[in-house]
Amino acid sequence: MTRDEVKEIFKFIKYIYPNFEVSSEKIDIWTELLADQDFSTVMKKARKHSLGHKYPPSIAELRVYEAPENNFLKKRQQWLKEGAERIANQRNDVHG
């Protein structure tokens, strides 16, 4: 996210929460901490936050955290396949 995009977020937050303080230093810090974030996604979270909270959002409330990839189902399927192959091989060894 760019500095100008953070300014847009601040402008929105300031309209909703008049006591939200804006300074050049605050914009710089938020820009640094939101640099890896997508503007439209963060703005969407800011809008959602404004509908349900009477206090302005923090950086943590606006950041978008991706869920860690869960490979358990893939691993389970692989284990089942390997297990079935092992059982088939053992049966062939016994009968072969």
pLDDT given for residue 7 in this prediction = 98
Domain 3-62 belongs to what architecture?
Answer: Orthogonal Bundle (1.10)
| End-to-end C-alpha distance for the chain, whole angstroms | 65
Burial readout 48-79 (b: 16 or more C-beta within 10 A, e: otherwise): ebbeeeeebbeeeebeeeeeeeeeeeeeeeee
Sequence letter at residue 39? F
Domain ranges of the chain: 3-62
92/96: higher pLDDT: 92
User: Which segment of 19-23, 43-47, 51-55, 78-82 scores lowest on mean pLDDT?
Assistant: 78-82
Query: What is the percent of the chain with per-residue pLDDT over 70, rounded to a whole number?
Result: 99
In the numeric block, the tokens 């938020």 are attached to 30
pLDDT given for residue 5 in this prediction = 98
pLDDT digits (tens, 9 = 90+) for 48-89: 999 999 999 999 999 988 777 788 888 889 989 998 888 888
State the chain's maximal CA–CA distance in angstroms.
Answer: 82
- pTM score > 0.85 for this model? no
Query: Which class for 9: exposed (0-12), middle (13-18), buried (19 or more C-beta within 10 A)?
Result: buried
pLDDT band at 1 (very low <50, low <70, confident <90, very high): very high
